[in-house]
Chain A
């Protein structure tokens, strides 16, 4: 037993490393293929690494599909959603946390009930509404359905409830209007909640395929995941090197953000566990 102890102590870490390698394999393969010349991708046998680095795959990815357009759309849609979510959620959250009025309880109940509704459930009526307003195939169709973030209201409300009463009272004595208190006092003090919420929201909408598939059919409005599918389903889609280069570029922003700010990122993403 004592002879075996050092070996058994190594089994655990070895398995953990092996598991991590399996988890990372797709990332490794994506990078490897994105740098391989075409003939090498189709060559028989296993070649883990490219024999020569083919940077042109990355150039081709931008030539074969409007990749820059997909990325820009991703930024516009995620940015638009986040800005409106905050503009709408923060004042409401402040009122729910710091003010007493007769509908306070009713509105908070609505927020909690809203947490139970996955956005897939509202897709058909929201689609009908957007069609009625002639808004399908616009940025509006990609942004508007998400501006009411019950999760945002909930999160900011919980945070605002912990703000010291003195802080708010002092601002009121100074003659600040309630709206000014929201944006100049409460919101800046809720910065941790805001970053966590921002990460949560951007990750969810950058990665979403369900809604862009429904709301827009114009390739010029494709978000990154939708764009990847356009690329793959085109004739150029069998051009695996550039396709993998495109997936690398589209995956990169969030993965880099994660690697740079792991704590914040993990916090933001796992918070979504509270959301229904």
Chain B
């Protein structure tokens, strides 16, 4: 049947058959929802309600002036502000160590690399419940060890001043292995002859070689890792939902968790949409930075 059709029509039909399902799915599942969420963020719509009112920027104003809303924003920024540099620096140190070790004892380096990557492969909700055991106030290994060496036990997950920092430690734990792999790839791409050249030029010890060769060539990778760690940290949800539900007293509330709670526990769809848009704006900004970095990274080679 297709044979009877003029070739141009047949080609158009083929193109449509190939791209229509994906295009339709993208429009319905991604782009239309983004538009709707943007619109809803200016309303007081509640799930299940018959009608809604336009309230312009009230939701956004609430988020940024309300004590609870501001908590979520500030907590997320603190979380990202700690996890981003810490997980990057630790990963860089581990990667440098393993890269050097791989020449002398490749077996051990391989085992260690696997160990550091394990948290990335593990189901984070399951591992969060394990952290809950480790951090249990009385029978947890962490507090028992502290008591055993004469320090006092800490309420890691129930103290308002402590809980967010406990979560950042878990966040760093689950991110270092991921970043390490990116750094190892960056290190492997540095040509060996550059080190020889640096040695001829007088960079004899490891320190000098690091500053003259490794660091400048690893710069783009580092930027990339920083941005990617930030985008991942901005989405922190699983550990919060598993361990604290944003508590105690919103001390560990974060943007994505607040979005979930306001929208799907309290059904405040309009307010939740505004939180979504603020989250989206943050991630978008970071992703645009990332694309710029990636471009530079590619041109570098």
Contact = CB atoms under 8 A, between A and B. Distances in A.
B40 A117 contact: no
Given A120-B235, A255-B121, A276-B231, A210 B126 contact: no
A254 B123 CA distance: 8
Given A121-B34, A247-B130, A255-B121, A210 B260 contact: yes
Given A122-B29, A124-B263, A228-B125, A91 B118 contact: no
Interface stretch (A20-28, A50-58, A163-171, A189-197): A20-28
A95 B19 contact: yes
A225 interface: yes
Interface string B161-189: 00000000000010011100110000000
A127 B263 CA distance: 10
Contacts, number: 261
Interface stretch (B57-65, B137-145, B196-204): B137-145
A118 interface: yes
A178 interface: yes
A81 interface: no
A125 interface: yes
Nearest to A19: B94
Interface in B226-284: 228, 231, 235, 237-238, 241-242, 256, 259-260, 263-264, 269, 272-273, 276, 279-280, 283-284
Given A45-B144, A46-B148, A101-B15, A13 B23 contact: no
Nearest to B273: A124
A102 B92 CA distance: 46
B260 A229 contact: no
Contact of A251 (B115, B127, B238): B127
Nearest to B20: A92
Contacts of A23: 115-116, 118-119, 173, 176-177
B54 interface: no
A192 to B, nearest CB: 17
Nearest to B101: A13
A19 B93 CA distance: 11
Interface string A7-38: 00000110111011001111101100100000
A82 interface: no
Contacts of A243: 129
Contact of A209 (B12, B224, B237, B294): B237
By secondary structure, the B interface counts as helix
Interface string A66-102: 0000000000000000000001110110111001010
By secondary structure, the A interface counts as helix
A118 B94 contact: no
A142 interface: no
A33 to B, nearest CB: 6
A225 B184 CA distance: 31
Interface residues of A, number: 92
| Chain B: interface size category | 35 or more
Nearest to B21: A88
Contacts of A135: none
Contacts of A123: 259, 263, 276
B144 A46 contact: yes
A206 interface: yes
B100 interface: yes
- Which residue among A16, A177, A209, A255 has the maximum number of chain B CB atoms within 10 Å of its CB? A16
Interface in B109-156: 111-112, 114-127, 129-134, 139, 141, 144-145, 148
A147 B29 contact: yes
A92 B23 contact: yes
B30 A92 contact: no
Given A118-B283, A121-B33, A91 B17 contact: yes
A28 B221 CA distance: 32
A231 to B, nearest CB: 9
B238 A110 contact: no
B25 A26 contact: no
A65 interface: no
Contacts of B100: 12
Interface in B73-131: 90, 94, 97-98, 100-101, 105, 108, 111-112, 114-127, 129-131
B8 to A, nearest CB: 10
B32 to A, nearest CB: 7
21 contacts: A13-B101, A19-B116, A23-B173, A24-B118, A27-B122, A30-B126, A91-B17, A95-B19, A122-B37, A123-B263, A124-B263, A150-B26, A206-B123, A210-B260, A224-B123, A225-B125, A232-B132, A244-B130, A266-B181, A269-B178, A276-B231
Give me the 5 closest cross-chain CB pairs, A-B, nearest first. A92-B22, A148-B25, A225-B125, A125-B33, A122-B33
Interface of A: 12-13, 15-17, 19-20, 23-27, 29-30, 33, 41-42, 45-46, 87-89, 91-92, 94-96, 99, 101, 103, 107, 110-111, 113-118, 120-129, 131, 144-145, 147-148, 150, 153, 177-179, 182, 203, 206-207, 209-210, 213-214, 224-225, 228-229, 232, 240, 243-244, 247-248, 250-251, 254-255, 257-259, 262, 265-266, 269-270, 273-274, 276
